[in-house]
Amino acid sequence: MDAYADVTRSDAAFRAFLHGLPGVDQVGAEARAAQLGTRSIKTTAKAWAIDTAISMVDLTTLEGADTPGKVRALAAKARRPDATDPGCPPVAAVCVYGDLAGVATEALAGSGIHTAAVATAFPSGRASRAVKLADVRDAVANGADEIDMVIDRGAFLAGRYLDVFEEVVAVKEACGSAHLKVILETGELRTYDAVRRASWLAMLAGGDFIKTSTGKVSPAATLPVCLVMLEAVRDFRAATGVQIGVKPAGGIKTTKDAVKHLVMINEVVGPDWLSPDWFRFGASSLLNDLLLQRQKLRTGHYSGPDHVSVD
């Protein structure tokens, strides 16, 4: 990381560095993502893929009508996703608004499942830095051990890269020991080149994960965007020795979607990232489809949607 200390010494230096990153071949990225999305896997590999995907889920509820009861129910499902099968792995985390982080943490106690909280004026990111940092500290004080922040897309798109960088640095400091996931909101960044620049900015600022989306903007997670972000973390580790996680979120609903991402991880960055420590799915409905497909492999027949709990 020391090798990159100079690139953030001024706005001009940072702009020169970010705009000096290799450009993304849009046609090539979309073609490769489409090709990887056609790969099929055999039954034994599918069973592994489903369990791996379940273990990578950040089970999420981010609605204004969320209640402590809903969060407790989600935590119970996170602990034991399939009530009929104790062999089913738990999910990675439960993701909630910061004011409900304490409820989630209490309900998840002793499980090893993380409490993730969104912060920094999620989903818009439109607030003063003081308010954003207070939001982060409040969520951590409530028990969150992972923080999902949003970058200031307005500042980024206006070319105020150093402002965005300094804000991520400040948020990382406010996190204390909590891990920081930096949401780029790729649907608002418009180009793959901008996604690559935002990815490097977030990693240089100390983000532990880079995340595609809030799930509140369309398009959210797409395979080509995930490909660009995976290439960024691969290149960042090659350059710095530091491994960064990736979290696509929004629009990932089916087992087929999840498997496409796992294939892409294996092909683009390798098996080091095939772990919930380094890859997550931000999802609310994905888990149910994974459970139904898992039940099909286990029993030989499909269960109806009423065989899994409604979140």
Residues assigned a catalytic role: 148, 211, 247
- Tell me the residue ranges of DSSP E strands in the chain: 57-60, 93-97, 114-118, 146-150, 179-183, 209-211, 245-247, 281-283
Which long-range CB contacts under 8 A does 83-87 form with residues at least 24 apart?
83/309, 84/295, 85/294, 85/295, 85/298
Query: 59 forms bridges with which residues in the sheet?
Result: 94, 283
Is the CB of residue 169 less than 8 Å from the CB of residue 205?
yes
H/E/C letters for each residue in 64-121?
Answer: CCCCHHHHHHHHHHHHCCCCCCCCCCCCCEEEEEHHHHHHHHHHHCCCCCEEEEECCC
Residue 52: other Cβ atoms inside 10 A: 19
CB contact set of 57 (below 8 Å; sequence gap of 6+): 91, 92, 93, 280, 281, 283, 286, 287, 290
Packing angle between helix 11-19 and helix 161-175, nearest 10 degrees? 100
Mapped onto helix, strand or coil, the DSSP state of residue 299 is: helix
